[in-house]
Chain A
């Protein structure tokens, strides 16, 4: 706590400010066409050469001395607004910016201010707007957010079809995925082929890989902050798409005389319907589909108060004699309030739930039914304070209550029933934070903050105490202790400093550096190559310590070309991780009351360099990204206690994304990816026991080989329909080809006995997508 008080002392002079007569201009910046808030739009005071940017809620505030000024409002791809003002009182000014009616030479793909990558203090951050994502050739023609993110520097995946993504050598469970501030516990549909985010409902995507600001916490590797559209507040808008695998529909419209608006967007897949004629026997009744519904509504109470309600509901359904389904449900209620002109408060109440069900047989007779879920409830008041043009202060509180249901399972046979359920678990995770973004002179910006997190593993529950054993073997239970409801079983407290600095080297280049510590109290229990929908989230307990990560990063950012046509950056990072969960050989992770006896704890490290070159303007645009990185861990009990590469380690990772707009109607896109093969453990010997040939590694090595490299090329073409007089709707076709040169990329190599001749053993290359996949989709809007 001492450190926090210190920080407040440090901030105090900033808060008091200078005793000069100052007034504040504040308000919201919106899109003139649909009323969407423009996140990151800038306000420049010409005479002072200084300015500010709208926050994630579209709100800005700037305090300057009395006087006459010219202010310029800017948002890339939009026509700037210039306004003369006489400042002798506090002003409330909302602005609506109109999109440029572009000619092709001027096409701009990023919605950022053109030099934002240099001028902002934030580093290790990638933003993708939905227009960019829509241009990337997609699997089965379906635009996907998570798959697009995997083309950015520092981001990779263990393989095609694996759910989630790895950021700078972190695990898939180390990314905090937020959909309108609600945590999403499983971001995948169809295992990992599609993500849960409906592109029609997404406004803005931001991935933070390093220099993580103090307002974010709870995961150690990265933050994926997905913001939903508010809904068109000017007129009814309908977007729809028909594809090979699923169809989408979204409706947005103003309500309550323009004081509010809503968006509702849905998708449903119909693979099972299409596949039906080709299936035989029992499989005729097979179900495999997914659907999701994303909705948001907002209402402006008055110029000081706005309220928002957003939610997501999605489910994957499988069945063929058995039932298997899983899905997320989230809900966010948000209230934003402006105190005076300089203090902005956003309060969110958040609900998130992930659950799955697996069942077969006739209930009560010969059956098995298994349910598991994680539910979280959060409250999050967040203040933004704009004391003067030099400082932007954020402070707030976050508190989340978790209810874990690791497994409710009932088996019955011959009329007898057996309940093998595990007890629920509970935890409370809270944090207070404060941070300041401070401009010093014209060239330097600091962002410094502190987050104090407190975690309690709560009753009602049982504390399991295990005996020590040789690392790598199952720990034996020594004793247990039960706790009543709300009793604290085990608390943890952590101080997480966050720091970033930016220094302009020239008009068009800057250097940035950052350090951050992050803590993670929830862990996804999974030792499979790709995480499965059955993986269970578990809280930190007396046996499972919170994960900690320290990361330092250093970057150089340079723009060049006419009008900053090219952006480039080089970043290096080094990460140290503590209390990484691993598993004893042949651990039993599901429905195991004594799971903690099968867990190991180790250290991790990841380091690398990321090179990024992006052409943001012109008919021909796109980016090239190259990551050179290592990710390793050391766990007593694995690999003879020596460091070994993580399963998703890839030394080289290259992505090339290119778009070419031939004319106003036709554009082409392509992307190429190349990555080093992931490590794998191969046997050295065979053991013959009872007719089985068991692979054996006499050196007890982990990840001693590598599977061949991954590379793939995808292409697509987008054709806009001719505009016709009097026709109210517009549409476009997307033709795409995935895996153009039919590469059989190995996902893994495994070993088995030959089915027909069990004495013979063989190595098997396993490919998830082993063919060219062409697709077509039609999209329209009115």
Chain B
């Protein structure tokens, strides 16, 4: 995150260069099972999505992987069965009222059996801090951070303190009018309220992270609503998401060699040549929001 931010500053400020979308012919590799399992403590159904990887330029949602058996077991022996009710690759578990998937610091094992192969991954559930408030102002304060775009409008910030006494990792997810900012460049990750490296235990989330919930070139207008989630992630997930950020925004003068992102869901038979891709994280989620009026 830190590296990317700096390189972003470098590249944006002076060398926007010249970009053109072109046609490139790519070989398509072996299709693999992709497991998208990011779960939280919220009421309502919790979803694990299983797909098959498709060609990079296959511009349609990847095909669903159906007929799998999916369950999560925690270290106290609770079993949560996820079922593909609609046969569309969305494997769902719905808590009964008052129940939740997340018990802090419990460890969870995800098990997916698909086409006769079993894949397992694990995660620990961490807490997330309360978001005290989300505010907005008409213009960014001068001298702030790296967002130097000249766009005019409303810019939102959130205020929250890192949970003191332990090392925490967070993914701050923003929704504008209910739509997630899925542009990878807007991915907002934090360790102990700062970028990375530790030593900021108990910090107020630092300014560039507070402000990053509004993309610099797309300010809000009157009537827009902004919702912010702070989602607790494991240290491994923090690195994984940094990899995703790196690999999905890897252009320009200072690109790094493209590399595959990690995967924490492995075939339980180490000798099998069938591998899955994807990620499993479970953690608490806090939310807050505001409407620009």
A residues contacting B by CB (< 8 A) are: 159, 161-162, 190-191, 280-283, 286, 288, 318, 320-322, 324, 358, 360-362, 366, 368, 409, 411, 413-414, 416, 418-420, 527-530, 532-534, 583, 585-586, 588-591, 647, 680-700, 702-703, 744, 747-753, 755, 758-771
Q: Which residues of B contact A760 (CB under 8 A)?
A: 59
List the 3 closest pairs (A to B, CB-CB), nearest first: A698-B29, A684-B29, A414-B204
Q: Which residues of A contact B140 (CB under 8 A)?
A: 282
Per-position contact with A for B105-130: 1 when CB-CB < 8 Å, else 0? 00000000000000000000000000
Q: If the complex has contacts A687-B34, A689-B279, A761-B57, are A411 and B18 also in contact, measured as CB distance less than 8 A?
A: no
Contact A586 B55 (CB under 8 A): no
One of A411, A529, A685 near B54 (C-beta < 8 A): A685
Contact A765 B26 (CB under 8 A): no
Measured CA separation A758–B184 after assembly (Å): 10
Least CB distance from B212 to A in Å reads: 13
- The verdict on B168 contacting chain A, using a C-beta distance below 8 Å, is no
Q: If the complex has contacts A283-B150, A586-B262, A768-B17, are A750 and B144 also in contact, measured as CB distance less than 8 A?
A: no
Contact B56 A586 (CB under 8 A): no
Tally inter-chain residue pairs, CB-CB below 8 A.
Answer: 274
- The verdict on B95 contacting chain A, using a C-beta distance below 8 Å, is no
Q: Which residues of A contact B200 (CB under 8 A)?
A: 411, 413, 416, 418
Contact B255 A684 (CB under 8 A): no
Measured CA separation A698–B28 after assembly (Å): 9
Contact B18 A766 (CB under 8 A): yes
Q: If the complex has contacts A527-B256, A585-B259, are A770 and B197 also in contact, measured as CB distance less than 8 A?
A: no
Contact B183 A758 (CB under 8 A): yes
- The verdict on B194 contacting chain A, using a C-beta distance below 8 Å, is yes
Write the chain A residue with the least CB distance to B243.
A586
Q: Which residues of B contact A358 (CB under 8 A)?
A: 6
Given contacts A411-B200, A764-B19, 12 further A-B contacts (CB under 8 A): A324-B10, A361-B145, A416-B200, A527-B256, A681-B259, A682-B24, A682-B56, A684-B27, A687-B53, A749-B22, A764-B20, A765-B19
Measured CA separation A358–B10 after assembly (Å): 11
One of A419, A588, A688, A770 near B34 (C-beta < 8 A): A688
Q: If the complex has contacts A692-B182, A764-B21, are A414 and B203 also in contact, measured as CB distance less than 8 A?
A: yes
Write the chain A residue with the least CB distance to B143.
A321
Contact B206 A751 (CB under 8 A): no
Least CB distance from B52 to A in Å reads: 9
Q: Which residues of A contact B258 (CB under 8 A)?
A: 680-683, 695, 697, 750-751
Least CB distance from A311 to B in Å reads: 28
One of A418, A590, A747 near B2 (C-beta < 8 A): A590
- The verdict on B250 contacting chain A, using a C-beta distance below 8 Å, is yes
Q: Give me 30 A-to-B residue pairs in the complex whose CB atoms sit less than 8 angstroms apart, sorted by A's number.
A: A282-B148, A322-B9, A322-B146, A322-B148, A368-B208, A414-B203, A418-B199, A532-B7, A532-B10, A532-B254, A586-B246, A647-B257, A680-B258, A681-B259, A683-B56, A685-B30, A687-B277, A688-B51, A696-B56, A697-B258, A698-B29, A703-B257, A747-B253, A750-B252, A751-B258, A761-B57, A763-B57, A765-B19, A766-B17, A766-B251
- The verdict on B283 contacting chain A, using a C-beta distance below 8 Å, is no
Per-position contact with A for B178-210: 1 when CB-CB < 8 Å, else 0? 001011100000000111111110111111100
- The verdict on B272 contacting chain A, using a C-beta distance below 8 Å, is no
- The verdict on B165 contacting chain A, using a C-beta distance below 8 Å, is no
Q: Which residues of A contact B79 (CB under 8 A)?
A: none
- The verdict on B75 contacting chain A, using a C-beta distance below 8 Å, is no
One of B143, B184, B260 near A692 (C-beta < 8 A): B184
Which B residues from 214 to 245 make CB contacts under 8 A with A?
Answer: 239, 242-244
- The verdict on B268 contacting chain A, using a C-beta distance below 8 Å, is no
Contact B193 A586 (CB under 8 A): no
Q: Which residues of A contact B194 (CB under 8 A)?
A: 411, 413, 418
One of B15, B26, B30, B61 near A759 (C-beta < 8 A): B61
Q: Which residues of B contact A751 (CB under 8 A)?
A: 56, 258
Q: Which residues of A contact B195 (CB under 8 A)?
A: 411
Contact B34 A747 (CB under 8 A): no
Q: Which residues of B contact A589 (CB under 8 A)?
A: 3
Contact A413 B34 (CB under 8 A): no
Q: Which residues of B contact A191 (CB under 8 A)?
A: 10, 14-15, 253
Contact A694 B261 (CB under 8 A): yes
Contact A586 B26 (CB under 8 A): no
Least CB distance from B16 to A in Å reads: 10
Q: If the complex has contacts A366-B206, A532-B254, A764-B20, are A685 and B55 also in contact, measured as CB distance less than 8 A?
A: yes
Least CB distance from A272 to B in Å reads: 11
Contact A759 B59 (CB under 8 A): yes
Q: Which residues of A contact B2 (CB under 8 A)?
A: 590-591
Contact A684 B207 (CB under 8 A): no
Contact B148 A411 (CB under 8 A): no
Contact A768 B18 (CB under 8 A): yes
- The verdict on B133 contacting chain A, using a C-beta distance below 8 Å, is no
Least CB distance from A583 to B in Å reads: 8
Write the chain A residue with the least CB distance to B1.
A588
Contact A758 B182 (CB under 8 A): yes
Q: Which residues of B contact A761 (CB under 8 A)?
A: 56-57, 59
Measured CA separation A442–B261 after assembly (Å): 64
Measured CA separation A358–B205 after assembly (Å): 20
Contact B199 A753 (CB under 8 A): no
Q: If the complex has contacts A689-B36, A768-B15, are A360 and B203 also in contact, measured as CB distance less than 8 A?
A: no
Q: Which residues of B contact A322 (CB under 8 A)?
A: 9, 145-146, 148
Measured CA separation A647–B279 after assembly (Å): 30
Least CB distance from A699 to B in Å reads: 6
Q: Which residues of B contact A763 (CB under 8 A)?
A: 21-24, 57
Contact A318 B13 (CB under 8 A): yes
Least CB distance from B123 to A in Å reads: 14
Measured CA separation A708–B239 after assembly (Å): 33
- The verdict on B248 contacting chain A, using a C-beta distance below 8 Å, is yes
Contact A765 B22 (CB under 8 A): yes
Contact A413 B248 (CB under 8 A): no
Q: Which residues of A contact B193 (CB under 8 A)?
A: 413
> Which residue of A162, A590, A763 has the most chain B CB atoms within 10 A of its CB atom?
A763
One of A162, A286, A694, A752 near B251 (C-beta < 8 A): A752
Least CB distance from B58 to A in Å reads: 7
Measured CA separation A766–B58 after assembly (Å): 22
Q: Which residues of B contact A586 (CB under 8 A)?
A: 239, 242-243, 246-247, 259, 261-262
Write the chain A residue with the least CB distance to B34.
A687
Contact A698 B198 (CB under 8 A): no
Least CB distance from A689 to B in Å reads: 5
Contact A411 B206 (CB under 8 A): yes
Contact A681 B278 (CB under 8 A): no
Q: Which residues of A contact B143 (CB under 8 A)?
A: 321, 360-362
Least CB distance from B183 to A in Å reads: 6
One of B9, B21, B199, B261 near A762 (C-beta < 8 A): B21
One of B19, B26, B152, B250 near A684 (C-beta < 8 A): B26
